Amino acid sequence: MSDIPSNKPYLIRALHQWCTDFGFTPFIAVFVDAQVEVPMEYVKNDEIVLNLSTEACHQLQIENEWISFQARFGGVPRKILVPVTHVLAIYARENGQGMSFPFDPNEVKASSPEKTEPSESKDSKHSFLKIVK
């Protein structure tokens, strides 16, 4: 079973596309540890919620291992790097529809390699969530 690739990045991309296609704002909830590069002043209880809309982020790449983009926080541009393993949920801000993912921070810490940058593209506890069926 461990040889089967994760479907999580595919589900994240699909739900991001669904939100975008129907005019919703895609948000992701992320578990934050040393592998995640986000503005730490916005992290609460080891979590951060990020807006993945085309208006909020630039050069968005949702790859199989990493989500990366640039965004402004308090008017200051920042580069954001999130391992897909750390995504807790993706959902539409407007209606809460989306998907949460099973997550065990101890499991991630035990199996996480050193932080590496995502590859360059050829082109340049959320109980409030409604699970899509």
| 98, part of any domain | yes
- Domain of 41, CATH number, reads 2.30.30.220
| 90, part of any domain | yes
How is residue 18 written in tokens? Answer: 């669904």
Helices (H), the chain: 8-21, 105-111
So what's the pLDDT on residue 36?
97
Q: 76-83 and 57-62 as β-strands: parallel, antiparallel, unpaired?
A: unpaired
What value does the mean pLDDT take over residues 20-33? 97
Identify the band that residue 3 occupies on the pLDDT scale cut at 50, 70 and 90. Answer: confident
CB-based contact 99:133 (threshold 8 Å): no
In angstroms, rounded to a whole number, what is the distance separating the alpha carbons of residues 6 and 2?
A: 9
User: How many distinct structural domains can be found in the chain?
Assistant: 1
In angstroms, rounded to a whole number, what is the distance separating the alpha carbons of residues 80 and 39?
A: 8
| 77, part of any domain | yes
pLDDT by residue (tens digit) across 33-80? 999 999 999 999 999 999 999 999 999 999 999 999 999 999 999 999
| Domain residue limits at 78 | 8-109
| 129, part of any domain | no
Inter-residue long-range contacts of 112-115, CB under 8 Å, 24+ positions, other chains counted: 112/35, 112/83, 112/85, 115/34, 115/35, 115/81
| 38, part of any domain | yes
| 117, part of any domain | no
**Residues near 106 by beta carbon (within 8 Å), at least 6 away in sequence:** none
